[in-house]
Structure 1
Amino acid sequence: MKNLFLIIFSLGIFPFMDFANAEQANAGHYHETKMATDTIYLADPTIFLDKGIYYLYGTGSNQGFPVYQSSDLKNWTEPSGKTNGLALFKGDAYGNGGFWAPQVFKNGRTYYMVYTADEHIAIAESDSPLGPFKQKEIKVLSGVGKQIDPFVFRDEDGKSYLYYVRLSEGNRIFVARMKDDFSDILPETAKECITATQDWENTAKSPWPVTEGPTVFKKGNLYYLFYSANDFRNPDYAVGYATARSPFGPWKKSDQNPIISKNLLKINGTGHGDFFKDKKGNMEYVFHTHHSNVQVSPRATGLIRVKFVKNALGSYDVVADASSFRFLMRKK
């Protein structure tokens, strides 16, 4: 997912770990999953439901962001964005490459796409989920250093927050208040939320620990921050979550972590996705996996349903339903 890691590994900053051999070793225990030719291959995916149509976006082109459509989450069109199948096309908004991890939301009649390009965060607008998403002024959001993996959360009081990853001594998740018009963040409000501190979050014991791909929602009085940990090429790439009583934290990691992993689904590299409610009101999580248990890329796009299980404290544990997992497919 991140070219940054290719550079860091080549410079030897990480301790040596042979992910390819690790994947082959895992294949002896976890079955080798082969994708069908009509499987969709988008990393860092997100799904946006609008007027009865699901729109799927993700990392998948060096020219921008492709978008697929579906009415049932089972059959997806070929890329249908308004510019060569892309919802955001290089040149219409910030970025020369490294188009990663988009999120789409709507405010009033305007659709917004917040995304990563060239390891910075930008936000573009459109009058349609299919694009073209454009910027009137080509610019990035404020912040310190390189920033990736944006997610905009709008609270019940109308305030909006940007959750994102700052590349500083690891991939660390931060939050900042957004301006009401979504034009930028308020830099003075930036605060660190999550970094990798637990064994499952850094199985390679890397000096550059990774937590990334944040997505946030509120249930009851608690805020739920979901994230992925480990390098994306690591078979142990997995999803966990933390809770807080404020959008700024402090965040308490769940004792159930990781809730989505190779142990649950028997396929490597499960992570970096987004939540949405389907037409029936079910909470779903769209994310990517490795291509197979012996090959990382191109990463495949999958979907899993999650359930809320009330615990002894009166709050909810989030449980992924392994039986609901499936890969997303284009129409045959």
Structure 2
Amino acid sequence: MDFKKIYILGFVLLAFVVSASAQKVKTAGNPVFKGWYADPEGIIFDNEYWIFPTYSAPYHEQIFMDAFSSKDLVKWKKHKSIIDTTEVKWAKYAMWAPAIIKKDDKYFLFFAANDIQNNEQPGGIGIGIADKPEGPYKDYLGKPLLDKIHNGAQPIDQFIFHDKDGQYYMIYGGWGHCNIVKMKDDFTGFIPYEDGTIFKEITPEGYVEGPFMFIRNGKYYFMWSEGGWGGPHYQVAYAIANSPFGPFKRIGVVLKQDPTVATGAGHHSLIQIPGEDNWYIVYHRRPLGETDANHRVTCVDKLTFDDNGYIQPVKITFEGVKRKEL
């Protein structure tokens, strides 16, 4: 018996098994990347997944934003400081809740800054512009796009919604009020509605902040966060309407804490696989045992619908989602 050949064959087989095991479908695990990050905006650019989150820290330290990219939802690459307060001169602190859209080969990164409490304070919602999703982003306007409180809505938590007719809208608002505004084509300001108003309120019952809208099977789904962002009962609810203006009647909660997994699950976004009815919810939550309000992590889990088009309650997991290449 040639023990040397047997040894070599065994080594080759072991290497094959290890290699095959490494290539098996894995899950991302939650959180999907290290660090305290919240308010994540998930999106697909050029066959690659991207997440743009808030750097979750005390406001005076919240002066930059990182981004993360992945080709398979499992392995994520960090892109450091894609925008910061040295570039946006009017923003001093509390940069948060990024929203991003690609238009005319440019990337527009919307953000809130300075946590303004009245119409005399400088700050509000601004825009960064870049040639690549990872930036670097430059201040597009040199000033806030929106720096005033309308209909009781603090100018934060903006989401850019691209309607099926091509029109872009910004949906935003904190303090329990949500507005929808019609964007100019170059994103430099707003277009009045036919009745002459600019800020239409679409606040549903229970709304606190974190709006998100999408279309599925011709219906407009509106989602938002409820409760206090620093507490354990933060959650996401939704409504369905025939128009981006509603009326939106609250249907129920789809994302919330699981005392065996994590608390404070909220401020989300969705990723849809192009051409498929395959959806992922990207959100933040607070690990068990954490009491610091800023100790939030970004996670991804599956989101599904029932046969009637209602969103089924999301099961938050430690495992996360399976590998999915585009």
Report if TM-score (shorter chain) is over 0.5: yes
Picking from 93, 113, 126, the partner of 1:117 is: 113
Structure 1 position 261, deviation (Å): 0.8
Alignment correspondent of 1:177:
182
Measure how far apart 1:141 and its partner are.
Answer: 1.8
8 Å CA contact 2:64, 2:85 repeated in 1? yes
What are the residue-to-residue correspondences of 1:199-278 with 2, within 5 Å? 201=206, 211-254=208-251, 257-263=252-258, 266-278=261-273
Report what 2:312 is aligned to: 319
Instruction: Give, in angstroms, the shift of residue 171 of structure 1.
Output: 2.6
Q: Equivalent residues in 2 for 1:83-122 (5 A)?
A: 85-93=80-88, 94-119=90-115, 120-122=124-126
TM-score, L = length of structure 1: 0.74
**Structure 2 equivalent of residue 151 of structure 1:** 159
TM-aligned CA distance change 1:36 to 1:219, over 3 Å: closer
Shift of 1:190: 1.2
Q: Larger Cα Rg: Structure 1 or Structure 2?
A: 2
Matched, 1:137 2:141: yes
User: SS in structure 1 opposite 2:142?
Assistant: coil
Aligned to 1:190: 199
The CA deviation at 1:304 is 1.4
Matched residue, 1:49: 44
Partner of 2:74: 74
Contact 2:280 2:301 in 1 (8 A): yes
Displacement, 1:40?
Answer: 4.0
Distance 2:132 2:228 in 1: 34
Indicate the SS of the match to 2:230: coil
Structure 1 residue 263, shift from structure 2 partner: 4.5
State the shift of 1:182 in Å.
1.4
> Mean Cα displacement is larger for which, 232-241 or 288-297?
288-297
Shift of 1:150: 0.3
Structure 2 gaps of 5+ residues are: 1-29, 56-60, 116-123, 322-326
Change (3 A) 1:136 1:107: closer
Rate the CA distance shift 1:264–1:226 in 2: closer, same or farther, 3 A. Answer: farther
- Percent of aligned pairs with the same amino acid: 26
3-state DSSP of counterpart to 2:233: coil
Deviates more, 1:228-237 or 1:85-94: 85-94
| Cα distance in 1 between the residues matched to 2:272 and 2:91 | 30
Closer/same/farther in 2, CA of residues 300 and 48 from structure 1, 3 Å limit: same
Structure 2 length as normaliser, TM-score?
A: 0.75
Question: Tell me, what secondary structure is at the counterpart of 2:201?
Answer: strand
CA RMSD of aligned residues (A): 2.5
Count of aligned pairs between the two proteins: 268
Give unmatched runs, 5+ long, in structure 1. 1-34, 202-209
